[in-house]
Amino acid sequence: MRSGFGCLVGRPNTGKTTLTNALVGTKIGIISDRPQTTRHAIRGIVHRPQAQLVLVDTPGLHKPRTVLGQRLNDVVRTTLAGVDIVVWCVPANEKMGPGDRFIARELRQLHGTSLIVAVTKIDLAKPDQVAGQLLAASAEIEAAHYVPLSARSGTGVATLLDLLMDGLPTGPALYPDGTLTDEPEKVLVAELIREAALSDLDQELPHSVAVTVEELTPRENSDLVDIEAVLYVERASQKPILLGRRGERIKSIGTRARTQIEALLGSRVYLDLHVKVLGEWQDDPKKLQRLGF
């Protein structure tokens, strides 16, 4: 039996969460085209008869501008120190830049950790772009394998998974068979609400939105689950943007999120959303702790 931890790392918006979901075979992390969508290290578990991979999707490594940004980078570095295999995600459709080279320098400092380079989003690139990115990545760092893939189409995903499983150390299973993630339900529900908000909001606002689930309770003598959640913004002027005219936007967010939450929980949901102002929470350590960062 083989078992161990793998980690996906890369700068923001390189397809890490989409790839994590594809490898696990179900949605465990939220997806958006906005940078810094992932704010936690999310664990997905992949099972095979003779192997178990615990795959950690991390926030994008970046140059932090806030205390939140610093903490997200700390999450990545802590994760890197405790895994057996690292997958560096580099998008095929974008030239390698300073952010990628910064990550390569970080990865060169790792010792005793196997490294795989995944050139992602090949469905959005021409063959010569894919080849060029593979060469650029190999010039930056020496890896055990270089895998071109597309998480959306599935091309190359099985190849990467085989390499990850083969690279695990021997050891017993770490989670019961069938477990897909160890994230608490409240965290997963809060993330689905934030994902619904991200799809509706203007460019500047998404980074200012945080979500907490205050209540998640099965209703007595019913198949309904009552959920109360709060969406936090940093300034009073942002609250009406999130609410929308006559509450239309927050209603739309709730409708979209409820569909995903019901699929997650396997039951009907009554979702009660509130919007509150928590001033400049991204730069306040106490407020960040309150929000779970």
User: Do 84 and 191 belong to one domain?
Assistant: no
User: Do 157 and 258 belong to one domain?
Assistant: no
Per DSSP, 92 falls in state: T
User: Do 193 and 113 belong to one domain?
Assistant: no
Which pLDDT band, with edges at 50, 70 and 90, does 75 fall under? low
Angle (CA) 8-14-15 rounded to 5° is 70
User: Do 145 and 229 belong to one domain?
Assistant: no
Structural domain range at position 154 = 2-166
pTM: 0.72
Residues whose CB falls within 8 Å of the CB of residue 164, separated by 6 or more in sequence, listed in order: 6, 23, 46, 53, 55, 85, 87, 116
Q: Supply the CATH number for residue 208's domain.
A: 3.30.300.20
Q: Quickly tell me which residue has 């998404």 as its tokens.
A: 206
User: Distance between CA 160 and CA 88 in Å, rounded?
Assistant: 12
- The tens digit of pLDDT for each residue in 240-262 reads 988 988 889 999 999 999 998 99
Q: Is residue 173 part of a domain?
A: no
Q: What is the total count of domains within the chain? A: 2
User: Do 21 and 137 belong to one domain?
Assistant: yes
| pLDDT at residue 35 tops 50 | no
What are the phi and psi torsion angles at 250 (to 5°)? -65, -30
Q: Which of 20-29, 62-71, 113-122, 229-238 bottoms out in mean pLDDT, i.e. has the lowest?
A: 62-71
Whether the CB-CB separation of 141 and 88 falls below 8 Å is answered with: yes
Query: Can you say whether the dihedral through the CA atoms of 106, 109, 115, 117 is positive or negative?
Result: positive
Domain boundary residue among 132, 166, 200?
Answer: 166
- The tens digit of pLDDT for each residue in 89-102 reads 999 999 988 889 98
Q: How many CB atoms lie within 10 A of CB 222?
A: 11
Per DSSP, 181 falls in state: B
Query: Can you say whether the dihedral through the CA atoms of 264, 269, 275, 281 is positive or negative?
Result: negative
User: Do 78 and 204 belong to one domain?
Assistant: no
User: Distance between CA 223 and CA 227 in Å, rounded?
Assistant: 13
Whether the CB-CB separation of 90 and 10 falls below 8 Å is answered with: yes
